[in-house]
Chain A
Amino acid sequence: QSALTQPRSVSGSPGQSVTISCTGTSSDVGGYNYVSWYQQHPGKAPKLMIYDISKRPSGVPDHFSGSKSGNTASLTISGLQAEDEADYYCCSYAGSYSWVFGGGTKLTVL
């Protein structure tokens, strides 16, 4: 149950697109179609942004999208907005009712 690997930080200008990667193994990301992504603003609880690799909960803007290839999942934020600046965490189901999170990525909107 090692943490999934995410870049520590990414950045982009308003209107640009950024992609955050999340690399695991065949025991988690690669083995199940159950990757989720969370946005966390300072001092706040995480918020679910993407589930089942690419599905958006009601109310999440459509400029957030997710995908997966092999053992790596990705979150793409297109048309960056100032309010998108936050920490982002991926999470994968790892079998036997266990879950594993990524180490988190700090997104800076320049």
Chain B
Amino acid sequence: QVQLQESGPGLVKPSETLSLTCTVSGASISSNYWSWIRQPPGKGLEWIGYIYYSGDTNYKSSLKSRVTISVDTSKNQFSLKVSSVTAADTAVYYCARGSIAGFDYWGQGTLVTVSS
């Protein structure tokens, strides 16, 4: 059974860097595409970016200058960094396995609050 688990700080100060890791079990990260998706409180889903095990990435255009997604195949993990965060980056962050067709497995989500 494929499982994804997000981990990282729940509170980040404005202007600092948000860092999250997604640990994958039940599947090899060396297949499929792996994405980060976020949901501000009370709002809709927003795709942030994806990575393939080879290291190929793409990011939502409006976030591209602040987002980095990386992969560690030895740990079956992939990670998200968002720099220069503001209150607008406060959200539940999900990691998900996907393909062009859609996202079939999701983590439970982790709330990250940006506040001083």
Binding site for B on A (CB under 8 A): 1, 3, 32, 34, 36, 38, 45-48, 51-52, 55, 57, 89, 91, 93, 96-104
Contact = CB atoms under 8 A, between A and B. Distances in A.
A18 to B, nearest CB: 19
A101 B47 contact: yes
B56 A89 contact: no
Given A1-B60, A45-B94, A96-B58, A36 B44 contact: no
Contact of B106 (A3, A36, A45, A51): A45
B101 A51 contact: yes
B107 A97 contact: no
B102 A98 contact: no
Contact of A103 (B35, B44, B100, B108): B44
Contacts of A89: 44-45
Contacts of A93: 100-101
Contacts of B107: 45
Interface of B: 33, 35, 37, 43-47, 50, 56, 58, 60-62, 94, 98, 100-104, 106-109
A34 B43 CA distance: 23
A99 B47 contact: yes
Contacts of B100: 32, 34, 93, 97
A95 B103 CA distance: 15
Contacts of B58: 96-98
Contacts of B47: 91, 98-101
Nearest to A48: B104
B101 A52 contact: yes
A15 B101 CA distance: 30
Contacts of B101: 34, 36, 51-52, 55, 93
Given A55-B101, A101-B37, 13 more contacts: A1-B60, A34-B101, A38-B45, A38-B103, A45-B94, A45-B106, A46-B94, A48-B102, A48-B103, A91-B103, A93-B100, A101-B46, A101-B47
Nearest to B60: A1
A100 B60 CA distance: 9
A57 B104 contact: yes
